[in-house]
Structure 1
Amino acid sequence: MSVDPEENRRVFRVTFDLPEESPTWPPVRYERLWAEKTDTKLHLSLRNTPFYCIGVAFGDIIAVRLDHERREVVFDKFVSESGHSAVQILVTSPSSRSALDQMLLSFGAAWETMSDATYYAVDVKPDTDYAALRSELIAAKDRGDIEFQESAISKPHQAQLLSFP
């Protein structure tokens, strides 16, 4: 646990164990995300966007458990969504990175990148026109600029789409 001095809130690192999808993916066995204490015991609100986890986004409420053997706070189950969505983007054409950043900014998205800035964890805010953003992402993919995965799409964003897998 740590305390955010600017906002005086209690935040925790929560460990998400990741299932192996293939011999090379994900490249890590777990991901740790920041989460903030809520009024309900062992329920936390996520404070960042995952690079590898599927099914959770910024602000979602999760239940956690204390793993005394590992000495960690560990994800237990999803509780409720925040309205935010999460998209994971792999930049396949480095020259397109600036255009990608500008496009994401135009939709009010926030993101983090890995150290080499080719893998993005994108937070899509609840008031974003997700249908328009998704169209731009598909166009970038079709050009060969990126690959992307919709790792957690909120119900309000799903409702904006004609069809959602």
Structure 2
Amino acid sequence: MKEEKTEHAQIIVKSYSDMFEQEIEEPLWAFVLDKENRLYQIDSIPFYTSLISSNDIVFADIDPETKQLVYQKTVSYSGHSTIQVVLNDETIAMDTIREIFSQMRCVSEQVNDDFFVLDIPEDVDYRLVKAELDNLETAEKIEYAEPSLSDVHRKQTEL
């Protein structure tokens, strides 16, 4: 029986972080879609994890030792992309940079004083977002990485 998308669960994603050059465990919130079949829809923006984005549907199982839900695989990709952004210029407020992307319908979440992540919805033209990211990077305001670029957004940049 399918559950309503109101129940949340925390899923631990284990992966290797190029940023930290080590294995990491990142907790992500997800809607419970089908508890019996262990299907969940990611409801947070991954900070460090690659290849998973908001709204992706994943399969997670209980770790017998820790009794926590642990990510096993992505069942269905949402088309969302996740971008990591590091602020390089202390003279500009992070909120100012985040607002630029908010105007493009991209949600962001601040991780710390100089790092935030962007969620790019499937229906947002990534060429416009990437142009702004590139402009800010060229101006040495930010640096960014694309740890989870959806096929939809990847194809837009190849045109």
Task: Give TM class, smaller chain.
Answer: 0.7 to 0.9
CA distance change for structure 1 residues 86 and 21 in 2, over 3 Å: closer, same or farther?
closer
- Asked whether the 8 Å contact 2:41–2:56 carries over to 1, the reply is yes
TM-score by length of 1: 0.84
By how many angstroms is 1:110 displaced? 0.5
1:82 — aligned with what? 78
Superposed CA deviations along residues 28-55 of structure 1, whole A, max 9, x for unmatched, are 7211000111137111100011110000
Letter in 1 for 2:106: A
In the alignment, does 2:111 pair up with 1:147? no
In the alignment, does 2:48 pair up with 1:45? no
By how many angstroms is 1:102 displaced? 2.4
1:35 — aligned with what? 30
TM-score by length of 2: 0.87
Determine the C-alpha separation between the residues in 1 that align with 2:96 and 2:61: 41
1:114 — aligned with what? 111
* SS at structure 1 position matched to 2:140: coil
- Asked whether the 8 Å contact 1:85–1:125 carries over to 2, the reply is yes
Letter in 1 for 2:26: E
Determine the C-alpha separation between the residues in 2 that align with 1:94 and 1:61: 37
Determine the C-alpha separation between the residues in 1 that align with 2:134 and 2:91: 17
Superposed CA deviations along residues 9-43 of structure 1, whole A, max 9, x for unmatched, are 11111101121537xx0587211000111137111
Letter in 1 for 2:98: D
* Equivalent residue for 1:92, pick from 62, 71, 88: 88
* Structure 2 stretches lacking a partner, 5+ long: none
Calculate percent identity across the aligned residue pairs: 23
1:10 — aligned with what? 7
Moved more, 92-101 or 145-154: 92-101
- Asked whether the 8 Å contact 2:110–2:117 carries over to 1, the reply is yes
Alignment of 1:65-76 (within 5 A): 65-76=61-72
CA distance change for structure 1 residues 148 and 46 in 2, over 3 Å: closer, same or farther?
same
- Asked whether the 8 Å contact 1:26–1:52 carries over to 2, the reply is no
1:58 — aligned with what? 54
* Structure 1 stretches lacking a partner, 5+ long: 1-6
* SS at structure 1 position matched to 2:91: helix
By how many angstroms is 1:141 displaced? 1.0
Moved more, 46-55 or 83-92: 83-92
Determine the C-alpha separation between the residues in 2 that align with 1:81 and 1:89: 22
